[in-house]
A and B are shown apart, each in its own frame.
Chain A
Amino acid sequence: MKIPALLKFVLLVVIAYLVFKAPALLMGKPIPASLAGVYLFFTVVVILLVMTSTDKGVSELTGPIYRVSFEPGLRPIRNVIVVALPIIAVAITYFSIAGGEVSSVKLRTAHPAPPETFAAYGKRVKTEKLTNPYRALEESDPRVFERAVKDGGKVYFKNCFFCHGAKLDGAGHYARALKNPLPQPFKGQDTIAQLSEAYLFWRITTGGPGLPAESAPWDSSMPAWESILSEDEIWKVILFVYDYTGNRPRSWE
């Protein structure tokens, strides 16, 4: 049985909608409404483009709409649609705002651009030229390197894990008390693997107060660890977060 083109269009749109809802329904991890809306919009556009790429497709798709709109014999259906469409629009509007007041969404910049130079431990540091002094030991002296990683682990669990979590997934004990932004996760290929060790050093030493003016307000509760940890401890904890998550720091060479 051949499915009428208009019905096929509606079915495809419904299937697309369900696909974009699936992460929320199956995993409890929704695709944000802002993105799902754009996904659905372009999916509908492509479906329409494919269906109207031939003259036959155009007539099959628009034929029923044309007939319902103009044929005298279909007036009852037309009347039902004329009444139903505004009701559906009102219902969608109502349910979209019925959940009460929510804070407006905003464009966040997850990776602020590091400054050319920044002040740390009483000196001015050139960000691009900064390297982890322990990184070279990974090949030249693996035992010392391993010990530095373990030291970094101790630093992490004494200071960082309360927010960033025991699994380095950003879900520490205090994370639930923080609303937005939440502590950054380090797990996964799309987090610190994108960043150089110098970048992490800048973020850890200067914390929330050291974030640049662009894209402010950041609302970050990350302390400036320069006043709590030594430079050595910060380099070691950086080793640890890369080692634990199986990531490699970004490099340009």
Chain B
Amino acid sequence: MRLAPSKKAAALLVTVIITALTLLLIAPDSSTYAATEREETEAALTLTTPGETTGLSGINLKDGSKKGEIDRAILLDRTERKQVKPPELTAKDYRSLGPVKRRTTGWFLAQIHLWFAAFVLAVPIFVVISEALGMITGNERYDRMAYEFLRISMTAYSFTAISGILFALALFFFYPGLMKYMTRIFEDSYVFYVLFIFLENAALYSYYYGWKRMRRGTKKKLHLAVGIWLNIMGTLIMITANAWATFMMTPGGVDMAGIFQGGVWAAVHNPLWHPMNLHRFVANIAYGGSIVAAYAAYMFLSAQTRRERAHYDWMGYIASYIAVIALLPLPFAGYWLTAEIYAYSQQMGITLMGGLFGWIFVIQAVIIGALFLSINYYLWCAMKRNPGGERYTVYIKYLGLVILACFLVWFTPHTLILTQAELTALGGPYHPVLGPLGLMPAKNIAVNILIIGTFLSFLLYRRSGRRVPAGTGSANYLAAVQLAVILSGVVNIIIVGVYYGYFTNSVYKVASSVPQVMTTLAVIVLTSGIEYYRYKGVKAGSRSRWGRVPERSQYALILLAVSFTWLMGLMGFVRSAIRQHWHVFSVVRDASTEAYTPTISHAAQVVSIATIVFLSFMVLIFWLNRGCGEGNSGRRL
């Protein structure tokens, strides 16, 4: 069943209005609350004894801080200041609803909402890029694909709004005390959030329904501008919500006594806000690409005609290309995010990667390995569509070996799961050979080479569709330079990783990841530049035979989307769960009966079930869009 566009628009508008009303109705009366809180805060400040938390014997102190000291963020804040004392919650500050488990419910709804939100934020980004490419190249295929992408996301917008409302209702119903505190601090941002949603929806509907009417000339440029506006609004919505989530991890504007003393900007501009914005922005693009690639694979596998197969083969390739391009810098964005967590709280950092949640990082490594494997497999299989692609299949086994070696290092844990006999044989929890592979320097080496290996797969795929340059001296020379760049890059990554990672102190160890990343990027940029120059003027080979790709390659694209979804769920849980028994880390303590960290098994179950539910919704959306595929959309346009 498909809703008429006008009904969809009406449904979405209603959901937005309900969201706005819900937030406005549930938000407490700020003036009354502020007065009460201020009195309590002043009392608390009077009772505070400075210097209660000190080092030992005086000689150990580097800490000049004391209670009542004001965070630097507060001093830089120019928004209206307020004092908000953290509530000391008790079990009575939480509501129940029969057998419904409040934490699991909130967690589940949050996760579903985040997946949809990631998708609908990402798709418009490459819809605009695709539309712009269509305008620049004059190739209408890009325009048709952009329209089809957008149509898929229209249904997803409705699901995003519905899941968002359900999530908000669950939070305000189950956690009234916490939400009262959060609202007191962030109430100003709620207004902006609703405003951004409204403006985004206005842009979305103008963009979607204006597609046909604004196809030519100046109108087309105006249409593209609307698309850019849509993206700006979407990004603003995301970063506003990011502020709330990151405040709970690294609260800004809070003094040493836990009292919020800043304005809303101090709370928004907390230490994790920028890293999270960047990480989510890049990850959303990769995720959106993978979902659209899965859609293309689904449509390819169920295509009835050669034309459809060709179209969805091409769409799958473009979408996976976008996903891979966004995936490559993602580990580095993640590294920044993690470094900021460590910098804010060593405790949270160690809990994250060395302690309790270290095992989920091992699972993460396995899933990321699966991502890279599926991408590489897709590219290897896709060589078939290029006449002459078999020239390069001989290299696949070497690439496979490199990728396997990196993958195994990537997920090798530092602390091993041992039987008593193995523990006795090893004489401790670390393996003499595998132990060093369990540390970050080894992981950094592995992931950088993994990225270069994947880039080489892509390079070979590109070459497979082109004729070999004439065997002139300069062509051979350039090939040798390319090889030298790649090999020297790999050697540099290994030397930097081994020397600084294992034979210097930890400051250099952490810092060594930067030259490694720069080396990887340099290899990619230089090799691409040489490749361009090398093939410049060389006539392209036969056109790619779109639709001739083997069906098994499409399952790799589906695996890509499943892996992304699962990975986001697991790592989202870890990021949030390292707060442990705090709602707002070190400020508002969780006093509910669920103030314990779930077992890894339980977390994996919740995330896995949520993954299945979300992907089922996505299949439903794909199914709703069937019959409106390339053939129809092409004619409509």
Measured CB to CB, the residues of A under 8 A from B are 23-24, 27-35, 38-39, 42-43, 45-47, 49-50, 52-55, 58, 102-103, 105-117, 120-121, 123-133, 169-171, 175, 179-185, 188-191, 193-194, 196, 214-215, 231, 248-253
Once the chains are docked, how many angstroms separate the CA of A215 from the CA of B413? 17
Known A-B contacts: A131-B60, A182-B427, A249-B506. Give 16 more (CB < 8 A). Answer: A27-B432, A34-B417, A34-B418, A35-B417, A42-B366, A49-B377, A54-B381, A55-B384, A102-B420, A102-B421, A111-B350, A111-B358, A111-B415, A133-B57, A179-B420, A194-B439
- Chain B residue numbers with a CB within 8 Å of A180 are 420, 423
Q: Quick check: is B322 within 8 A (CB to CB) of the other chain?
A: no
Q: Choose from B347, B427, B503 the contact partner of A189 (Cβ within 8 Å).
A: B503
Nearest Cβ on chain B to A131's Cβ, whole angstroms: 5
- Chain A residue numbers with a CB within 8 Å of B377 are 49, 53
Once the chains are docked, how many angstroms separate the CA of A112 from the CA of B597? 14
Q: Quick check: is B535 within 8 A (CB to CB) of the other chain?
A: no
Once the chains are docked, how many angstroms separate the CA of A50 from the CA of B65? 58
Q: Quick check: is B580 within 8 A (CB to CB) of the other chain?
A: yes
Q: Indicate whether A248 sits within 8 Å of B434 (C-beta atoms), given known contacts A49-B373, A111-B354.
A: no
Once the chains are docked, how many angstroms separate the CA of A212 from the CA of B413? 22
Nearest Cβ on chain A to B68's Cβ, whole angstroms: 16
Q: A45 near B429 (CB under 8 angstroms)?
A: no
Q: Quick check: is B359 within 8 A (CB to CB) of the other chain?
A: yes
Q: Quick check: is B356 within 8 A (CB to CB) of the other chain?
A: yes
Nearest Cβ on chain A to B395's Cβ, whole angstroms: 11
A-B contact pairs, 26 of them (CB 8 A): A23-B433, A24-B425, A34-B418, A35-B416, A42-B404, A46-B400, A50-B400, A54-B380, A102-B419, A110-B354, A110-B415, A113-B350, A124-B52, A126-B63, A129-B62, A131-B62, A170-B427, A175-B427, A182-B427, A182-B428, A185-B430, A190-B435, A193-B505, A214-B351, A214-B580, A251-B507
Nearest Cβ on chain A to B202's Cβ, whole angstroms: 46
Q: A193 near B506 (CB under 8 angstroms)?
A: yes
B: interface residue count bin: 35 or more
Q: A109 near B356 (CB under 8 angstroms)?
A: yes
Once the chains are docked, how many angstroms separate the CA of A38 from the CA of B354? 21
Stretch from B165-173, B338-346, B564-572, B604-612 that touches the partner: B338-346
- Chain B residue numbers with a CB within 8 Å of A175 are 427
Closest residue of A by beta carbon distance from B432:
A29
Q: A128 near B57 (CB under 8 angstroms)?
A: no
Q: B415 near A108 (CB under 8 angstroms)?
A: yes
Q: Choose from B60, B400, B503 the contact partner of A130 (Cβ within 8 Å).
A: B60
Q: B425 near A130 (CB under 8 angstroms)?
A: no
Closest residue of A by beta carbon distance from B503:
A189
Q: Quick check: is B221 within 8 A (CB to CB) of the other chain?
A: no
Q: A114 near B430 (CB under 8 angstroms)?
A: no
Q: Quick check: is B488 within 8 A (CB to CB) of the other chain?
A: no
Nearest Cβ on chain B to A87's Cβ, whole angstroms: 27
Once the chains are docked, how many angstroms separate the CA of A24 from the CA of B431? 11
Closest residue of A by beta carbon distance from B437:
A190
Cβ contacts B163-190/A at 8 Å (1 or 0 each): 0000000000000000000000000000
Nearest Cβ on chain B to A127's Cβ, whole angstroms: 7
Q: Indicate whether A120 sits within 8 Å of B56 (C-beta atoms), given known contacts A29-B431, A46-B373.
A: yes
Q: Quick check: is B411 within 8 A (CB to CB) of the other chain?
A: yes
User: Nearest 7 pairs between A and B by C-beta?
Assistant: A129-B63, A248-B505, A53-B380, A113-B351, A50-B400, A110-B415, A250-B506
Q: Choose from A39, A49, A113, A194 the contact partner of B356 (Cβ within 8 Å).
A: A113
Once the chains are docked, how many angstroms separate the CA of A46 from the CA of B404? 7
- Chain A residue numbers with a CB within 8 Å of B415 are 108-111
Q: Choose from A46, A53, A188 the contact partner of B381 (Cβ within 8 Å).
A: A53
Cβ contacts B23-49/A at 8 Å (1 or 0 each): 000000000000000000000000000
Nearest Cβ on chain B to A102's Cβ, whole angstroms: 6
Once the chains are docked, how many angstroms separate the CA of A47 from the CA of B404? 9
- Chain A residue numbers with a CB within 8 Å of B433 are 23, 27, 29
Q: B57 near A188 (CB under 8 angstroms)?
A: no
Closest residue of A by beta carbon distance from B506:
A250
Once the chains are docked, how many angstroms separate the CA of A109 from the CA of B360? 12
Closest residue of A by beta carbon distance from B58:
A133
Q: A33 near B396 (CB under 8 angstroms)?
A: no
Q: Quick check: is B3 within 8 A (CB to CB) of the other chain?
A: no
Once the chains are docked, how many angstroms separate the CA of A109 from the CA of B417? 10
Closest residue of A by beta carbon distance from B339:
A252
Once the chains are docked, how many angstroms separate the CA of A31 from the CA of B502? 22
Q: Choose from A116, A125, A183 the contact partner of B56 (Cβ within 8 Å).
A: A125
- Chain B residue numbers with a CB within 8 Å of A250 are 505-506
Q: Quick check: is B393 within 8 A (CB to CB) of the other chain?
A: yes
- Chain A residue numbers with a CB within 8 Å of B400 are 46-47, 49-50
Q: Indicate whether A28 sits within 8 Å of B354 (C-beta atoms), given known contacts A110-B414, A124-B52.
A: no
- Chain B residue numbers with a CB within 8 Å of A231 are 56-57
Q: B430 near A190 (CB under 8 angstroms)?
A: yes
Once the chains are docked, how many angstroms separate the CA of A31 from the CA of B417? 10
Q: A23 near B431 (CB under 8 angstroms)?
A: yes
- Chain B residue numbers with a CB within 8 Å of A39 are 408
Closest residue of B by beta carbon distance from A111:
B354
Within 8 A of A (CB), among B212-239: none
Q: A33 near B420 (CB under 8 angstroms)?
A: no
Q: Indicate whether A105 sits within 8 Å of B580 (C-beta atoms), given known contacts A52-B552, A133-B59, A185-B428.
A: no
Within 8 A of A (CB), among B331-388: 342-343, 345-348, 350-351, 354-356, 358-359, 366, 369, 373, 376-377, 380-381, 383-384
Once the chains are docked, how many angstroms separate the CA of A75 from the CA of B76? 82
Nearest Cβ on chain A to B342's Cβ, whole angstroms: 7
Q: Quick check: is B53 within 8 A (CB to CB) of the other chain?
A: yes
Q: Choose from A23, A55, A132 the contact partner of B550 (Cβ within 8 Å).
A: A55
Q: Quick check: is B240 within 8 A (CB to CB) of the other chain?
A: no
Once the chains are docked, how many angstroms separate the CA of A249 from the CA of B509? 12
Q: B396 near A169 (CB under 8 angstroms)?
A: no
Nearest Cβ on chain B to A203's Cβ, whole angstroms: 12
Q: Indicate whether A214 sits within 8 Å of B429 (C-beta atoms), given known contacts A109-B415, A127-B346.
A: no
Q: A110 near B429 (CB under 8 angstroms)?
A: yes
Q: B403 near A107 (CB under 8 angstroms)?
A: no
Closest residue of A by beta carbon distance from B408:
A39
- Chain B residue numbers with a CB within 8 Å of A131 are 55, 60, 62
Once the chains are docked, how many angstroms separate the CA of A181 from the CA of B356? 16
Q: Quick check: is B397 within 8 A (CB to CB) of the other chain?
A: yes
Nearest Cβ on chain A to B212's Cβ, whole angstroms: 41
Cβ contacts B92-122/A at 8 Å (1 or 0 each): 0000000000000000000000000000000
- Chain A residue numbers with a CB within 8 Å of B55 are 125-126, 129-131
- Chain A residue numbers with a CB within 8 Å of B435 are 188, 190
Closest residue of B by beta carbon distance from A16:
B404
Q: A252 near B56 (CB under 8 angstroms)?
A: no
- Chain A residue numbers with a CB within 8 Å of B348 are 113
- Chain A residue numbers with a CB within 8 Å of B408 are 39, 42-43
Q: B439 near A42 (CB under 8 angstroms)?
A: no
